[in-house]
Amino acid sequence: MRTTVGIIGAGPAGLLLARLLHRAGIDSVVLEGRDRAYVEHRQRAGILEQGTVDVLRAVGAGERLDREGLRHDGIELRFDRRRHRVDFPGLTGGRSVWVYAQTEVCKDLVALQLKEGGPLLFGAQALAVQGADGDRPRIPFRYQGREDVLECDYVAGCDGFWGVSRGAVPAALSRTFERTYPYAWLGILADVAPSHDELVYTRHDRGFALLSMRSPSVSRLYLQVPAGTDAEEWSDEEIWDELQRRCETTDGRRLERGRITHKSVTPMRSFVHEPMRHGRLFLAGDAAHIVPPTGAKGLNLAVGDVVTLARALVHEKETGSPDLLDAYSATCLRRVWQAERFSYDMTTLLHPAPDATAFDGRLQQARLERIASSRAAGTDLAEAYTGFPLG
C-alpha cells in the first residue's frame, strides 16, 4: 500500500487529522489496531474546548455535537463548604466549553471517514515505523492474519502512550519529562440527572471530588483515592456517601443518587516527550504527552497537534516550503507546556497530598480565595480552561 500520510491510530487525533487532510486534498490511510466497537465505546474525556468545537464544526463533524452536546459557560469551585462560579464568557470575551464525550467525537469522525475519506483499517496493528529519517518511511502492519507494509511520505504517530510511534525516535535524541502523582481518580457513570448544571470542582480535606455529566440523564462523578486503588474496593453506597461529604455546602445541597453503571480508576501523571518530530515522523496526542485529567486538556491537546500538523502539510503542498513542518515540534510544545502547567496547577490546587500538612491546606485555600476574589486570577483560569490558541 502507498499513501501520502500514514496515520497510526484511530483515536480523535488520527481521525481528525485524516478528516483535515481529506478536505485539503491530501490522501491518507489510517491504521487502527483495535476494532471499531472499541474505538467508539472506550470511556475517555468529555470536555471540548472552544477551539476544538470550532474545528469539528469546520470539518463537518459538528452536527450531532450541536444537537446533543451541552454548552457550559462556567465551572463551580467548592471549598470550605462555599461555592464560587467562574464565568467563562464574561472573563474570556465569549469563550465556552462543551460536554460531549470522546466516544461520540470518534463515532462522528469514523462515520465521516468511512463515508467520504480514505482507507480506515480497523484491526490493523502497526508493528513499527521504519525509515523515518529518510524520504520514504514505512509502516509494517498486520491485518486480517497477513503482514503488509504501508509506504508513505509522512507518518503521523497518533497511537497513544503505548503505541509503536514514539519508540521510532532514537533514544539519543529523546528527552522525557514526567511526574507521577500519589493519588488517582475513582470515576463512576450513574443513571441519574446531574446534581448541578455545570461542572463542580471540590477541594476538601478528605480529598478532591468532581461532579460532571455525560448527558442530562447520566452523571460522571469522581473521587480522589490513593494511587493503586481497586475500584471494586468501594461499594456504591460508600461512593455516594463520600461524594456527599466532600461536596457539602453551607446551603445544604444534596446530591441526586442513582444506579452506578460503571466504575474505574484513572492514574494521575504528567508526561512530555521531546521532540515531537523525527524526520518524517510526527507524534501527536498521547504518543507525545499526557496530562492529569483535572484540567480537561488531553483530547484538546491532541486536536491542537493535528491542526498544527495538517496546516504544515497543506503549506508544504501549496508552497513547497517545509518551514511549518520543521517548526511542528516547537509550535506544539509551546501549547503542550502551557497545558501541562495549567493541569499541574489545577491538580495541586484541589488535591490534598497524602503527606500534606496544615500549612499546605491553608495555601490551597488561599489560592482558591484568590481566584474567587480577583478578576485577574479568575481570568487566568478561565482562559486556560476554555483553551489556548491552536497552532
* Cell numbers at 110, concatenated: 469514523
Band (pLDDT 50/70/90 cuts) for residue 391 is low
Could you say which of 12, 72, 196, 204 is catalytic?
72
Q: What is the pLDDT of residue 110?
A: 97
Q: Does residue 41 have an active-site annotation? A: no
Q: Does residue 72 have an active-site annotation? A: yes
Closest residue by Cα to residue 107 from 179, 230, 202, 16? 16
Q: Is the pLDDT of residue 258 over 80?
A: yes
Could you say which of 293, 328, 351, 352 is catalytic?
293
Q: What is the pLDDT of residue 71?
A: 96
Domain ranges of the chain: 2-72+98-178+269-353
* Interval 201-257: pLDDT, tens: 999 999 999 999 988 999 999 999 999 999 999 999 999 999 999 999 998 888 989
Could you say which of 278, 289, 297, 351 is catalytic?
297
Could you say which of 181, 183, 201, 222 is catalytic?
201
DSSP 142: E
CATH topology of domain 2-72+98-178+269-353: FAD/NAD(P)-binding domain (3.50.50)
User: What is the Cα–Cα distance from 289 to 32, expressed in whole angstroms?
Assistant: 19
Closest residue by Cα to residue 386 from 103, 48, 120, 124? 48
Q: Does residue 201 have an active-site annotation? A: yes
Grid cell 507521577 is found at 180
Q: Does residue 293 have an active-site annotation? A: yes
User: What is the Cα–Cα distance from 59 to 49, expressed in whole angstroms?
Assistant: 16
First-last CA distance in the chain: 31
Q: What is the mean pLDDT of residues 343-352?
A: 97
Could you say which of 154, 181, 222, 385 is catalytic?
385
Q: Is 293 exposed, middle or buried (0-12, 13-18, 19+ CB in 10 A)?
A: buried
In angstroms, the Cα distances linking 383 to 14, 79, 222, 257 are: 26, 21, 24, 33
Q: What is the pLDDT of residue 15?
A: 98
* CB-facing half-sphere around the CA of 139: CA atoms within 13 A: 35
Which sign does the torsion angle of CA 159, 163, 166, 169 carry?
A: negative
Q: Does residue 289 have an active-site annotation? A: no
When computed from its CA atoms, the radius of gyration of the chain, rounded to whole angstroms, is: 21
Band (pLDDT 50/70/90 cuts) for residue 390 is confident
User: Considering the entire predicted model, what is its pTM?
Assistant: 0.95
Ordered DSSP codes for 194-240: -SSSSEEEEE-TT--EEEEEEETTEEEEEEEEETT--GGGS-HHHHH
φ, ψ (nearest 5 deg) of residue 59:
-95, 10
Q: What is the mean pLDDT of residues 130-139?
A: 96
Q: What is the pLDDT of residue 46?
A: 84
